[in-house]
Amino acid sequence: MEFDQAVQSLVEQLSSTTFAGIYGVPRGGLCLAVALSHALQRPLLAEPQPDALIVDDVYETGRTLESLHARFPKARGVVWVSKRPPEWWDAVVVTDSSEWLLFPWENAAQARADEQIYRTSRELG
């Protein structure tokens, strides 16, 4: 699914929802968060807040979003792609693929290096 379609899908889901602003998880969630901030006309937050929309590109292992959810249980979470069925977060695309994703804002060579770091960290953890 293309980025603009993903944004539009989330806008349709979120347009009647109330939240203080949108927090994008660095790095992956920032582009999507900025697009949603513009489309929904809500402020882009520098820090997550209890009543914020927390945005990331992908829910893979859950480490990032689960830690934010533990700190801000009332915040709503959304991702473009979820690699498992959503529970407390929403997703545009749900897949069981273990394939590493390359998002439009990423540099392919750097993404390959990030994948290696990610996979190594999971082997050690």
pTM, whole model, 2 decimals? Answer: 0.78
CA torsion, ordered 80, 32, 113, 87, to nearest 10 deg: -30
d(CA 107, CA 30): 15
Average pLDDT value for residue range 77-87:
90
Structure-token match 């009332």, residue found: 74
Question: Tens digits of per-residue pLDDT, 108-117?
Answer: 677 666 666 6
Instruction: Please write the tens of the pLDDT for every residue from 21-34.
Output: 999 999 789 999 99
Which domains, ranges and CATH numbers included, belong to the chain? 3-97 (3.40.50.2020)
For the chain, give the secondary structure using H, E and C. CCHHHHHHHHHHHHCCCCCCCEEECCCHHHHHHHHHHHHHCCCEECCCCCCCEEEEEEECCCHHHHHHHHHCCCCEEEEEEECCCCCCEEEEEECCCCCCCCCCCCCHHHHHHHHHHHHHHHHHC
